[in-house]
Structure 1
Amino acid sequence: MKILILGSGGREHAFAWKIAQSPLCTALFIAPGNAGTSQVAQNVAIEATDFDRLADFIAANEIELVVVGPEAPLVAGFTDFMRQHPTLNHVRVVGPDKAGAALEGSKDFAKQFMMRHGIPTAAYRSFDSSNLEEGIAYLATLQAPYVLKADGLAAGKGVLIINDLAEAQAALREMIAEAKFGAASATVVVEQFLRGIELSVFVLTDGKDYCLLPAAKDYKRIGEGDTGLNTGGMGAVSPVPFANEEFLKKVEERIVKPTLAGLQKEGIDYVGFIFIGLMNVGGEPYVIEYNVRMGDPETEVVIPRIKTDLLTLLDAASRRRLAQAAFEIDSRTAVTVMLVSGGYPEAFEKGKPISGLDRIGEVTAFHAGTKQQGETVVTAGGRVIALTALADSMQEALQRSYRAAETITYEGKYYRRDIGRDLMA
């Protein structure tokens, strides 16, 4: 089978690493990819949102299956583009259509969807330029902290959690009236703050049947002890010790099944991944957000724990035959520690040579922001490399990842040294 993966981050490297191991895989391409993906697949210099050039490549290389990594091409309608293409509509795509991608593309749509289908989530109201003053007044009725979410995609930066009322009101005005996040914050969701522990649950569905993938917990803040600015993710752990069988059963019955039933009821043909961001509030699950793809860096701990041939699962989902697919999870713990560029998530420099990648032993390096420059791998993003280890205990897995983090060197290297520590108390 000839496969094309869209994307260029750690998530896509993890997909490529796993798919390349499948005997079903005869050719594997990734657009645009990075220095790491080039070790297991053929990089293609086409951006994931350049649909016309992708179509030409798919036709020329007789691609049979496209796996969409990031959200942007899905929200922009890549799956619809392929289904409606006069000569490529036979090519199967793992990724929802534009209607399904609205679960991530519009937080207001997602909240309304949850309300319609009785899925537990925080109370909320949405505001835009027509009722901005109502929003200012509504904030005054809430207790701190105040949660403001840009409705559209904002590259992971559109969620603000603010403790001061006046600051929150100013931020709401800035988001809507001054377009702080561009068109993404033309509408803003103001949400009740939920106190609890976050985790992520992942589902692969063919539109009817589903596989519940391993749960994971990621670490978003740049600083240790969950301090400082939000990032795309500084590390992740799977499994999550507090997400026991009883809790995950609640997630499945109250959230996963109603979500899939809701999609079917609304006529949304959803083939692909659903990332469910959850808050465990006193043992009860509440949905914080939906994403319509796998998370990053969670993918870097979820994929290594899937013992089943991933390509057989993706192929089955794309053919609407997921119910017939075998599925097995590795019981060991996976952890990943993200190495980032100095200055990230604010201004940072690129092009720093990376050394030590050949000396990390049994740890897998999933490249997030790297580029090949001649014989040298250099930094090319804020998040650079996710270092993933599998072991019988979390402590052992963390020791392995941190040894690798010390071994790899480049100018400005930074990583959090407390990944998983809160789960070992």
Structure 2
Amino acid sequence: MTILLLGSGGREHALAWKMLQSPKCSKLFVAPGNAGTASIAKNVALNITDFEAIKTFAIQEKIDLVVVGPEDPLVLGIYDFFKSDAALNHIPVIGPSKVGAQLEGSKEFAKEFLVKNNIPTAAYASFTKETVEKGCDFLETLQPPFVLKADGLAAGKGVLIIQDLEEAKTELRNMLLHQKFGSASSKVVIEEFLDGIELSCFVLTDGKNYKILPTAKDYKRIGEGDTGLNTGGMGAVSPVPFADAVLLEKIETRIVKPTIAGLQKDNIEYKGFVFIGLINVKGEPIVIEYNVRMGDPETEVVIPRLKSDLVELFQAVANQTLDQVSLEIDERSATTIMVVSGGYPEDYDKGFEITGLEKIQDSIVFHAGTKLENNKVVTNGGRVIAITSFGDNFQEAIKKSYQNIEKLHFDKMYCRKDIGFDLL
């Protein structure tokens, strides 16, 4: 099969690395990819939201399967674009329809879906600039901290958790009246704060059947002890040590099954990943959010733990025969540590040469924000490289990742030294 993978981050490098282990994958293109995918597949300079350009390329290269990494093309309707085009509709797309992608594209849509399907989630209300003062009144009915979420896509940065009531009101006005997160915050969902420990559940579905992938926990804050600004993710651990059989059974029964049933009931076409962000409140799993693709950096620990053929799984998703394939999981723990540019998630410089990659042993290097320049690997984003390791437990795996990070160097390089600190 000739496969086209859309995206350029660590998630895509991990998906590419895994798909290339399949005898079913004869050729892999990654658009636009990074320095890591360039070393194992063929990078293509395509804009992932330019569907006409993707169409031309797919026809020209006789693409057999399209795998969508990030959320933007899904929310914009790439699945529907392929399905409704006579020249493309024979090519399966791994990812939901435009309506299905609203589970991530609109926080309000997701909350309504959760409530309608009796799936446990925090109490909420949503507001626009016309109802901003009602939103301020609603904040007064809640106990701090206050959770404000931009309704639309804000690259993982549209959630504010604020202790002070007056500050929360100011930020609500900033979001709605002054477009703090652009058009993503033209509507804001205010939620009750849930106190617990977070984890992520990943599901692959063909719209009827599903497979639950390994659980993971990521670390969003830039600073140690989960302090400072939110990022796209600074590291991840899989499996989650506290996710025992009892919690996993509750997640499947109360959350996964009604999610898949709810999609079917609403006739929402969905062939791809469902990423369920959860919080464990005193042993009870509650949904914080849905994403409609794999998370990053969670992909860098979940996908390496799959023993099954990923391309075979994707074919089963396309054919709605996911119930006929088995899912094998590596029992070992996997951890990944993200090495980022100094200044991230705020302003940072690019173009610094990365050295020491060839010295890394017994870990997997997944490139995120990198590119090739004059045959040198240089930084090209905020989150630069993820170092993934296996161990009999997560402490052993983490130690290995940190030992290998010491061999890497680029100017102003930074990583958190405490990934997994809350699991000990």
**Which bin holds the TM-score, normalised by the shorter protein?**
over 0.9
Aligned to 2:161: 161
Quick one: which amino acid aligns to residue 84 of structure 1? Answer: S
Whether contact under 8 Å (2:206, 2:317) holds in the other structure is: yes
CA distance in 2, matches of 1:130, 1:145: 24
Aligned to 2:199: 199
CA distance in 2, matches of 1:146, 1:35: 41
SS of residue paired to 1:122: coil
Q: What's the CA shift string for 1:73-111, capped at 9, x where partnerless?
A: 000000010001121111001000100000000000000
- Deviation of 1:395 after TM superposition, in Å, equals 1.8
Q: Are residues 1:273 and 2:278 paired? A: no
- Deviation of 1:166 after TM superposition, in Å, equals 0.3
Quick one: which amino acid aligns to residue 394 of structure 2? Answer: M
CA distance in 1, matches of 2:354, 2:211: 37
- Greater shift in the superposed pair: 68-77 or 388-397: 388-397
Q: Are residues 1:177 and 2:177 paired? A: yes
Aligned to 2:263: 263
CA distance in 2, matches of 1:186, 1:398: 40
Q: What's the CA shift string for 1:27-63, capped at 9, x where partnerless?
A: 1001000000011110000021111111100000000
Aligned to 1:5: 5
Quick one: which amino acid aligns to residue 336 of structure 1? Answer: T
Q: What is the number of equivalent residue pairs in this alignment?
A: 424
Aligned to 2:229: 229
Q: Are residues 1:357 and 2:357 paired? A: yes
- Deviation of 1:132 after TM superposition, in Å, equals 1.4
SS of residue paired to 1:36: helix
CA distance in 2, matches of 1:421, 1:195: 18
SS of residue paired to 2:202: strand
Q: What's the CA shift string for 1:184-243, capped at 9, x where partnerless?
A: 111100000000000000000000000100000000000111011110000000000101
Please provide the CA RMSD for this pair: 0.6
Aligned to 1:97: 97
Whether contact under 8 Å (2:6, 2:69) holds in the other structure is: yes
Whether contact under 8 Å (2:139, 2:169) holds in the other structure is: yes
- Deviation of 1:283 after TM superposition, in Å, equals 0.2
Quick one: which amino acid aligns to residue 385 of structure 1? Answer: I
Aligned to 1:61: 61
Aligned to 1:106: 106
Whether contact under 8 Å (2:340, 2:383) holds in the other structure is: yes
CA distance in 1, matches of 2:337, 2:179: 34
Quick one: which amino acid aligns to residue 312 of structure 2? Answer: T
- Deviation of 1:422 after TM superposition, in Å, equals 1.7
Quick one: which amino acid aligns to residue 366 of structure 1? Answer: F
CA distance in 1, matches of 2:110, 2:72: 16
Q: Percent identity?
A: 62
Q: What's the CA shift string for 1:347-396, capped at 9, x where partnerless?
A: 00000000010111111110010000122100000000000001112122
Q: What's the CA shift string for 1:257-289, capped at 9, x where partnerless?
A: 000100110110100000000000000000000
Aligned to 1:209: 209
Aligned to 1:150: 150
Quick one: which amino acid aligns to residue 368 of structure 2? Answer: A
Quick one: which amino acid aligns to residue 256 of structure 1? Answer: V
Whether contact under 8 Å (2:365, 2:385) holds in the other structure is: yes
CA distance in 1, matches of 2:314, 2:218: 24
Q: Are residues 1:33 and 2:33 paired? A: yes
Aligned to 1:399: 399
Aligned to 2:345: 345
Aligned to 1:132: 132
Aligned to 1:85: 85
Quick one: which amino acid aligns to residue 373 of structure 1? Answer: E
- Deviation of 1:175 after TM superposition, in Å, equals 0.6
Aligned to 2:283: 283
- Deviation of 1:326 after TM superposition, in Å, equals 1.5
Whether contact under 8 Å (2:120, 2:255) holds in the other structure is: yes
SS of residue paired to 2:414: coil
Quick one: which amino acid aligns to residue 298 of structure 1? Answer: E
CA distance in 2, matches of 1:257, 1:398: 33
Runs of 4+ in structure 1 deviating by more than 2 angstroms, as ranges, are none
CA distance in 2, matches of 1:61, 1:319: 22
SS of residue paired to 1:98: coil
Query: Which stretches in structure 1 are left out of the alignment for 5+ residues?
Result: none
Query: Which stretches in structure 2 are left out of the alignment for 5+ residues?
Result: none
- Deviation of 1:183 after TM superposition, in Å, equals 1.2
SS of residue paired to 1:193: coil
